Amino acid sequence: MKPGGILYMLGALFYFVLGVVYWFWTGEIVGTVGITLTGGLALLTGFYILFTLRRIGPGPDDLDDAEIADADPDFGFFSPGSWWPLPVAIAAALIALGLVFAVWLVIIGLGVLFISIYGLMSEYYRGPRLPEA
């Protein structure tokens, strides 16, 4: 985590310097604000990574002699055969298109999104476990 945090901090420094150079070079305010805010975002991310590293200590990715088995292998359950992410993506596309073209597409997209998220979350639900008689 430490190299990543340092890279984000260096990126923040780069964007802050670039914002100053851009301001003096062009005098344009919108680009300067955008570049400076990009530096601020990199600064926030780098600070969070380094702060978390200090709080929880170095992880296996920070050790030079770490093995693959040192990392936590449990990343949660993943269903490789699930089709439910496809309707979620379609719903997100409908919502995005609705924001651009027509509000009624947003309403349809939200309906599809709620149905597809429900399907995604309850894909392996088989009902309550009743005691056998």
List the chain pLDDT tens, one digit each, 133 residues. 888 999 999 999 999 999 999 999 999 999 999 999 999 999 999 999 999 999 988 877 777 887 877 777 666 777 888 899 999 999 999 999 999 999 999 999 999 999 999 999 888 887 777 667 6
Task: Yes or no: say if 46 and 73 are a contact pair by the CB < 8 Å rule.
Answer: no
- C-alpha dihedral (78, 80, 84, 86), degrees to nearest 10: 120
Tokens 């400076």, residue?
36
Task: Yes or no: say if 20 and 40 are a contact pair by the CB < 8 Å rule.
Answer: no
pTM for the structure as a whole: 0.56
